[in-house]
Amino acid sequence: MGRGTLRCKIITLRPPSPADERGVALIEFALVLPLVLVLLLGMIDVGKAFNYWNDETHLANEAARAAAVNNSPDPNWAANKTTAAYKINAAIKNQADSAELRNGGNSISQPNGSPGGVTICIWFPGVARGTNPVPPAAWAAGQPVQVVVRARYKWLGYLVRRGLRANSDLTATSTMRIEQPPTNPTSASSTDAYTASVNNTC
């Protein structure tokens, strides 16, 4: 019998070249980048929404205080008491820190989704919601007056032209006791400093 020869083939492993490592790193970066961007933009958007809600809270407090004393912060109101643009509803809205809250934009619309900024609604919680007409006893001295500031926030609205389908209502309320009673705030032609909800609901 002949003797066979055993041959061994030695396989040597060469370390990957720097070019290979750069390719792997680029692929990993491309896979992770979208997730990182969504998290980062999401955190920015949450901060923006919280800032808008905080501004709404300030506006509600200012409006409730002005309504309690029946005096608009707009300096033109004293000489033009029937002009809606100078009443508390419009004057307080114009005090918003952001142009989006004042006029609407990519992230902010009215509560019903139509274009525009925050809405400022004033009503009297001392009588039942939906009461129409609202009795004068509702705005007598010592009765509560409540301001509701509301807007719809479209999440990541600045990233996508029309934003995501997800949206949230940002609402702030403030209630105070009436110190200076109005005459008839539910009438648009009244000389009062504000226009209240006709059917006493916000």
In the structure encoding, which two tokens stand for residue 62, read together?
């200012």
Distance (Å, whole) CA 149 – CA 115 = 16
Answer yes or no: is pLDDT of 2 > 60.
no
What Å distances lie between residue 115 and 24, 80, 162, 169, CA to CA? 47, 28, 12, 14
pTM of the model: 0.80
pLDDT digits (tens, 9 = 90+) for 47-99: 999 999 999 999 999 999 999 999 999 999 999 999 999 999 999 999 999 99
How far is C-alpha 129 from the chain's CA centre?
25
Closest CA to 156 of 31, 37, 33, 29: 37
State pLDDT tens for residues 120-141.
Answer: 999 999 999 999 999 999 999 9
Structure tokens at 176: 């105070």
Cβ(184)–Cβ(195) below 8 Å: no
pLDDT reported for residue 4: 56
Q: Kindly give, in sequence order, each residue whose CB lies less than 8 Å from that of residue 48, ignoring residues fewer than 6 positions away.
A: 107
Q: Which alpha helices (DSSP H) does the chain contain, by range?
A: 18-68, 88-93, 99-103
Domain ranges of the chain: 20-177
